[in-house]
Structure 1
Amino acid sequence: MNAKILIVEDESIIALNIKEILMSFGYTVVGIAANSEKAFHLVETKKPDLILMDITLQDREDGIVLAEKISERISVPIVFLTANDKNQTIDKAITVKPYGYILKPFKDVELKTTIEIALKTFSENKTLTGKLNEINSEITSLQSKFSLEIKSKMRFVKLKHGYIFDNNEATLLLAGKEILLNHKEKKLIQLLV
Structure 2
Amino acid sequence: MNFPELKNQAVNSMLAKILIIENEPSLAEKIVRNLKQFNYEVLPVVFRGEDAIRSIELDKPDLVILDLQFAGDMSGPSLAELIHQRFGTPVVLVVESSENLSLDTVQSINPYGFVLKDFDNYRFSVVISIALQKFQTEKRLRESEERLKTIANFTYNWEY
TM class by shorter-chain length?
Answer: 0.7 to 0.9
- Could you say which structure has the greater relative contact order, defined with CA pairs below 8 angstroms and 6 or more residues apart? 2
Change in Cα spacing, 1:59 to 1:129, as seen in structure 2 (3 Å) is: closer
Counterpart check, 1:83 vs 2:88? no
Listed as ranges, the matches of 1:119-130 within 5 Å are 119-130=132-143
Q: Which amino acid aligns with 2:41?
A: T
Q: Determine which of 20, 23, 32 is the counterpart of 2:36.
A: 23
Matched residue SS, 1:115: helix
How far did 1:90 drift?
5.0
Q: TM-score if structure 2 supplies the norm length?
A: 0.83
Matched residue SS, 1:2: coil
How far did 1:95 drift?
2.7
Matched residue SS, 1:131: helix
Q: TM-score if structure 1 supplies the norm length?
A: 0.70
Deviations 1:124-157 (A, max 9, x none): 11111100011011112222233x2xxxxxxxxx
| 2:3 corresponding residue in structure 1 | none
CA distance in 1, matches of 2:115, 2:103: 11
Deviations 1:92-150 (A, max 9, x none): 1233221101122111111100111111111111111100011011112222233x2xx
Q: Determine which of 64, 86, 89 is the counterpart of 1:73.
A: 86
Gapped runs of 5+ residues in structure 1? 149-193
Larger Rg: 1
Aligned-pair Cα RMSD in Å: 1.7
CA distance in 2, matches of 1:144, 1:91: 44
Listed as ranges, the matches of 1:171-182 within 5 Å are none
Q: Which amino acid aligns with 1:138?
A: I
Aligned residues with identical type, % of pairs: 31
Which structure is higher in strand share? 1
Counterpart check, 1:10 vs 2:23? yes
